[in-house]
Each structure stands twice: as structure tokens, then as C-alpha cells.
Amino acid sequence: MGEKLVIIDGNSLLNRAFYALPPMTNSKGQPTGAIYGFTTMLFKIFNEIKPNYIGAAFDRKAPTFRHIAYKDYKAGRKKMPDELGAQFEPVKELLRAFNIGIYEIDGYEADDIIGTITKRYESPELEVVIFTGDRDALQLVSPYTKVMITKKGITETETYDLNYLKEKYNLNPKGIIDLKGLMGDSSDNIPGVPGVGEKTALKLLSQFGTLENVFENIDNISGKKLNENLRENKETAYFSKKLATINVNVPIETDLSNMRIKDYDYIKIRNLFEDYEFKSLINKIPVKDEKIHFNMPQIQNFNEDSNLIKTITSNGIFNFIINESGMIFDGGILAQPSQIEYFKEIFESDSIVKNTYDGKYAYNFLKGKGIELKNLNFDGEIASYLLNPSESKYDMLNLLNQYSGINTSGIDADDKNGIAALYVQKLDDIKRNMLTEINKHGMNELFEKIEMPLIEVLSSMECLGFKVDAQILHDIGFELSEEIDKLTGEIYDIAGSEFNINSPKQLGVILFEKLNLPVIKKTKTGYSTDAEVLEELSDKHEIVDKIINYRQLVKLKSTYTDGLISCIGKDGRIHSSFNQTVTATGRISSTEPNLQNIPIKMEQGRRIRKAFVPENDEYVIISGDYSQIELRVLAHISQDKSLINSFVNNEDIHRRTASEVFGIPMDEVTPLQRSRAKAVNFGIIYGQSDYGLSRELKISRKEAKSYIDNYFKRYSGVKDYLDSAILDAKDKGYVTTLMNRIRYIPEINSTNKNVKKFGERLAMNTPIQGSAADIIKIAMVKVYSRIKKEKLKSRLILQVHDELIVEAYKNEIDYMKQLIKSEMENAVKLSVPLVVDINVGNNWYEAK
């Protein structure tokens, strides 16, 4: 078969997209979810079917011949939601931008138009593919026509040809009409025969072949009630068949040549995507076959091009990218890394503005060449992160698509240097457009004063690293091995046999078959033994806590003692990578290794910090750790008077909360009550439900609910804030931190209850957690700047959650303690004091 014609059922796909996805709106409040889903399916058609011809059919509001024949046709349908109706014209506008023909006519449905076009053009030379969610279209399947039916969501489809139709229903295409005649169609209010469902109808058609044969052989049909229903509803069955039959002779003008895939209006499509705020779809606009390549001159002998230095110096702006290939700038590609040394004067100039992408890589690379990068003014990766904090990646092609003002659809995505070259050439435009967006959202200070200076701080921390005593890790690993072996033996004794504790399948057999513990949930492969299940079973049998402990110790050994040893560099230090553009809340993360997640709730986990030591005897470790920063941020944002007073008066906030919740004087609060109050305090920040709190504290939901209710009675300002945060997020589609950092929360308007609840928790927590992240970043920049400016020998080497770690020169200990405390506590001005705990030790463990 030669070419392909795809016919899209516009109404069906829009309905599918609307109900399959959570509600989406752009910042103007325009509903966009169905448009997004429809476009995603359109891209699926382009990428997977690769049609030569394409068209889209739509219903019109005017009554059809079916409504005239049967006044109750589709009478049971609910009125189309206004949010869906508002998205039809934007989809048609998008189709027109793609040069896709739209076919609609009064008196007929999209099904009839699709059927007519199919029968006009299907042939051995032209395969027709109908893309729909309506199974009525299956009657159009033929040797030259397939039907793709949308299933779950907006990406999964099921393709019907003659063979699959026979396999699935044991019917030919005309049998689909007979099927509808017998069973009817509740969605269209086609009556069919009462009491005949799909199973019975298929059985009858399998036995007798056609609707007509069913009634001709009615005396041979067993089942008194079925036989009676068929006899009494014969005319209804024939009428239902007529209603379900697609009209393939609609008087609509079509021309196959007009359906041929044509050049589309890329700029128009991109502008529409920007209006709808579909930034993730811009780089998915189908690419034409030809590829654009960029041939930047390779500069081999820089001495001959020394005038470039003078030109850059006179301009006062240097746009560049440093990557694995060397350095790319307006003048070309420096193929030899050594040539970068000729640019030392430019990089170290305070008066020349530098603009780049992935500034941290540039800082690290130049530092290795003995060059200090100064006056880095703009990093497209960081700017993109602020504007789109939930994206999975912030590559240059995306930035070119969104902010350069040019059509990049023909760029070869594998041409990394070409993309970098074009990025450098368009960097002035990209910078201007991105800064306009950043300023529009009030994030200019966040970008200029926090995120951009932080790049240098993170680069410095990566290059410095943290010295690790491998012998201490070996010793801890050996101790862990002994504990694991001891636990293994105890587990075997309790189980009564040896088995692979690390195998969920074997563990499941022991727990649920041999020990007869209650099954909590199952997976496709058998019993679930995940952490949640074990936690629920922990009070059911002594073996469970031992298995939980076993897993914790095995992870400690494999990930942290053994894992960290493999990460130690030749200089005896671990150089973690700090990620500035990963978390949607603004928090910094680390990888290779992840030092943020070293477990500290277990003593064995805390001991691992003993291996993190200063460079030599001339240094110590100082830790500056914010005390309850998120609760202090909550007090400031909510302006709850009771919470503010507690912090202003330097009270034990957990004891105060226990006093309020349990209605007793503070001096009568027991350790258990304080512990429970602490769980409530932090649970409130994360939108924890009574169910979640009851599981954490192992109390009844009723008791947990009473704790939360009492909390909100005493701290009504907090309740008001949390409620307003949810309403604000629903209205705007996003939340902001104290520094105006944005996080979009599309989940909050979802029709799925669980997704919506998740969105509400994000709305409550993100302003708090994100503001705390902003504050620690401000503190990092301030501490680093003071150390650098004052030429101190101490150095900032690590940030973990709310804690800064400084490797302090012994002669500077007292000064550094004061410096760290002062800069961290005065990072921002809140309604309550920021309090920092300072500790000093000969290793990280002692300094905590």
C-alpha cells in the first residue's frame, strides 16, 4: 500500500482530551486542557502514522437527520461544559495553522463526514486511518481502512483492521451496525432491544450472522424473556440499526489534493502555544526532513585572531559557552582548550558583562585553568528554571524555541555545537526576552541577587569538596556487616527456615503464607512487601521490625559506607555535584554522591558523618543550622499571633503547641505529648491529613483529627493562611515564595480526587518550603562573599537542608562562628527572629 490519509474525529478527540486530563488554564484563566490533549494526539499522528494527507471532521450544533427521525436521539446527554465548548475554536485555529482542512456541514455528524471521505478516497494506493474515540467508526473498517480508537488517557490507542475486528468481536464491519441495532447505544440514546447487552448481542450475531437472520430464526432462540423482548422490539431493533448506520454519501465538497500535508505556519503555531502556555510542546512541533547545520569556524591559531580580544573588550559584552568541545563564542569555536588562556583578561574583567548557559560548568572549567570568572550576568539555564520550575530539562534548543524569535524546527537536535553556536548568536535576544518575563513575575531580585551569585558558590563547593576518612567508613561498614549478619540469623530463626530476605517474592511467602500475616496489598508479581506494608505490619509480628531494620542497615552499607568510599577522589575528598535547577521548590540537591540524604534518624546513619573530616589539624568543622526555619516562615506568612509570640518569646514551640493542643500548662507537658505536638507542627506544613498523622503516631484517626482540630482552634491564623493558599492556587494556577519564586500547580484543579489533594498539599507547603530554600541560598551567598572578600582561609564546603558546613581555619574559629551566625540570622527580615545553632567539631558528626 502506498500513501496514507488520516481523518481525525475532532469532537471525539476533544472530548477524550477534556475528560482524560486534569483541568488546565493559562495565566489569563483560559481553559486549555482539551487543547493540550488534542495537540498531543495530533503530534502522535504526525510522529507515528506519518500521513501524506490529513483532515479533521467536526459536528455542528444544527440538528442532524437522526434528530429529525428520532426526537430523543442523544437526549440523555449532559450539556457540554462551557470549559470544553470554549476550546473548540482554539483547536480549529490550531488546525488551520497546521494547514489541516476542517470538514463540517449542517444536518450531519462528524461520523458521516468521516465515512463519506473514507469511501471516496480509500483504495489499494491510499490507506485511510480514522483516528477517533467512537467505536461506531468500526463499521468503516475495510481492506483499505483502519480505525485507531483512543483508550486510556491521550496516548494509548487500539488499531482495528479486518483481522483484529474479527478477532475481537467475531464480526465483520457491517456486523458492528447489527450489534448497535440489538444492544443500542446509551451514549446516543439509541434504544436497541431491552435486556440485550453486548455479550448477548455478540452471541446472537455469532450464531445467526446478521440482525435480519436473528429475527428470521427467532423461533430457534432459547430463553423465554430474551425471545419475548426480541419479538416485541423488532421494529426498534431495525430502527436502532438505521440510526447507528453511518451515512457515507454526505453532500460535502472535498478535494484530496487539499488534504495533502503542507508547510505549516510555524510562527503562528509557536505564538498560539505561547498564548496557551504550552512551553513543553514548542520543541515538539514536527520537524521537516531537512536539517540545519551550523558551520562555526574552528580557530586553530588564536594568535592570528587577536583582534577578537580587542573587539570583545570594546563591546563590553562577552557571550560564550564552554562545553566538551571547547569554547563557542561569536568569533567561532576554540578547538584547543589551551587557547582559552588568551581570554583570561576578558574572563577576569569586572567591566565586561558575561552571558552564557550552564555557568557552573564554565566556573569549574576555568578554575581548572587558573582563571577566575567575574561578572557573570546571565545564565539561560537558571533563567529558564525560574520561569519553568517543573520542567525536566532546560536545554538550549528549548530556550531557542521559546525566546529567540526564530524558527528552529529544522535544527538537528544532535548538532550540539550548532545549537550552542546559534544560542550564542541569539543570546542578546534570549536574555532580553527572558529578563522581561522574569521582571513581569517580580523575580528580578531572585535572579540577580540570589540565583546568579549562587552559581559561583556551588562551583566553589564542588571544587573544594569534603575530606573523607576512608578507614572510618571501612570500620563502620564492618560493624554494619556484623549487625546485618546477626539480624539475618534472628530473622531465619523466627521464620523457621533460611530464605533470601532481599527477595520480595520469598519474603512474601514467609510473611503471608508461613506466618499467616494479613495481606495488605498485592503487585502484578505477588505479595507487596514495600516499606508502607511493613510499617503497617510492624505491630503484628516481631519479625517485621527486624526486617525493617535489616533493610535500613543494608541500604546504609551499600549506599553510604561502600558507596561513599567509591566516590573519594585522588585528593581524599568527595566532590559532590550540586544541582541548582532540579527541585520545583527551589531547594538545592546533590548527586554523585547525594549528601543531602545521609540518614540521621538512626544512630548508625549519624555515625557516617564521623568520616567527614577537615583537611588537616589546622582546620575544624563548623555547622550553622537554622532552628525550625519552616515553622518560623509559617509564622511570618500566616501572621498568626500565637505562633509569632511563641517565637518572639523564644519558647519551645513544640512544648507550646502541646500545651495549646492538650489544654495543659507548658510545665506539665510530657515528652510523649511534646513529641506528638512536634509531629502535628511539621505535619501541618506538609498538609498532613488525620489519616497520615494517625499512621505516623500510631493512634486512631479520631484522636489524630482532634489534635489537628485543636491546633487550628489555637492557631486560627495558620488555618486561614492554608485555606487562602489553596484558593489562591486554584485561581492563579501557581503559588509564590517570599522572594516571588513561582511554582505552577496544575494538579490543584484536577477532577481526580487524589491528584487534587496532592495539588492542595503543594499549594500549602511550597510557599513555606520554597521560602526556606530562598533564605538558605541568601545565607550561602552572604557567607561565601564575606569569606572571599575578607580573604579568609576558612571555606564554605557543603549545604544540607537547613545547614551550612564550613571548614574553618583554627585561628578563625571564633570569627567564623560569629560570621556564620550573623549572616544566616540576618539573611532576611521576618516577623519572627531567625535562630541559628552553631556547633564546632573535629568531624561533621561532632559539629552537629
Q: Is 481 exposed, middle or buried (0-12, 13-18, 19+ CB in 10 A)?
A: middle
Q: How confident is the model at residue 452 (pLDDT cuts 50, 70, 90)?
A: very high
Number of other residues whose CB lies within 10 A of the CB of residue 281: 18
Q: How confident is the model at residue 286 (pLDDT cuts 50, 70, 90)?
A: low
Q: How confident is the model at residue 289 (pLDDT cuts 50, 70, 90)?
A: very low
Those residues with Cβ within 8 angstroms of residue 320's Cβ, 6 or more apart along the chain or in another chain: 327, 328, 329, 354, 355, 356, 362, 424
Higher pLDDT, 845 or 292: 845
pLDDT at 102 over 50: yes
Number of other residues whose CB lies within 10 A of the CB of residue 306: 9
Mean pLDDT of 615-641: 96
Please give the mean pLDDT across all residues of the chain: 89
**What's the pLDDT score for residue 317?**
92
Residue whose C-alpha is closest to residue 691's, from 681, 677, 703, 678 = 703
Helices 396-403/427-440 angle, 10° precision:
70
Mean pLDDT of 485-503: 94
Fold of 296-440: Nucleotidyltransferase; domain 5 (3.30.420)
Those residues with Cβ within 8 angstroms of residue 566's Cβ, 6 or more apart along the chain or in another chain: none
Higher pLDDT, 26 or 348: 348
Q: In CATH, what number does 638-769 get?
A: 1.10.150.20
> Hey, what's the cell of 601?
534518624
The answer to whether the CB of 382 falls within 8 A of the CB of 452 is yes
**What's the pLDDT score for residue 92?**
95
Residue whose C-alpha is closest to residue 173's, from 186, 184, 163, 185 = 163
pLDDT at 527 over 50: yes
The domain spans of the chain are 3-170+246-266, 296-440, 469-567, 638-769
| Cα angle 598, 600, 604; round to 5 | 90
Q: How confident is the model at residue 112 (pLDDT cuts 50, 70, 90)?
A: very high
Mean pLDDT of 474-484: 94
Helix spans in 109-255 (H): 110-121, 162-169, 173-183, 198-208, 211-216, 224-232, 234-244
**What's the pLDDT score for residue 532?**
87
Those residues with Cβ within 8 angstroms of residue 111's Cβ, 6 or more apart along the chain or in another chain: 9, 134, 136, 137, 246
148 backbone dihedrals φ, ψ, rounded to 5°: -100, 115
Question: Which residue has 503516631 as its cell numbers?
Answer: 697
Q: Tell me: domain 469-567, CATH 1.20.1060.10, correct?
A: yes
Residue whose C-alpha is closest to residue 278's, from 365, 406, 388, 150 = 388
**What's the pLDDT score for residue 739?**
96
Helices 33-44/10-20 angle, 10° precision:
120
Mean pLDDT of 599-604: 82
**What's the pLDDT score for residue 473?**
95
Mean pLDDT of 343-357: 94
- Per cent of the chain over pLDDT 70 is 96
pLDDT at 785 over 70: yes
Q: How confident is the model at residue 228 (pLDDT cuts 50, 70, 90)?
A: confident
| Cα angle 497, 499, 504; round to 5 | 135
Integer Cα distance of 543 and 498 in angstroms = 13
The answer to whether the CB of 643 falls within 8 A of the CB of 634 is yes
**What's the pLDDT score for residue 737?**
96
The answer to whether the CB of 542 falls within 8 A of the CB of 435 is no
Mark 139-177 as b/e (b = at least 16 C-beta within 10 Å).
Answer: bbbbebbbbbbbeeebeebeebbeeebeeebebbbebbb
| 355-359, 695-699, 764-768: least confident range | 695-699
> Hey, what's the cell of 790?
575578607
**Beta bridge partners of residue 5, listed in sequence order:** 53, 128
Question: Which residue has 544566616 as its cell numbers?
Answer: 824
- Per cent of the chain over pLDDT 90 is 55
Task: Identify the top-confidence range among 61-65, 270-274, 679-683.
Answer: 679-683
Number of other residues whose CB lies within 10 A of the CB of residue 815: 14
Residues in the chain: 848
Coil, strand, or helix at residue 71? coil
CATH architecture of 3-170+246-266: 3-Layer(aba) Sandwich (3.40)
Integer Cα distance of 583 and 809 in angstroms = 33
Number of other residues whose CB lies within 10 A of the CB of residue 606: 15
Higher pLDDT, 215 or 776: 776
For residue range 127-147, list pLDDT tens digits in order.
999 999 888 899 999 999 999
| Cα angle 212, 214, 216; round to 5 | 70
For residue range 153-177, list pLDDT tens digits in order.
787 889 999 999 888 888 889 988 8
Mean pLDDT of 429-449: 94
> Hey, what's the cell of 729?
492556587
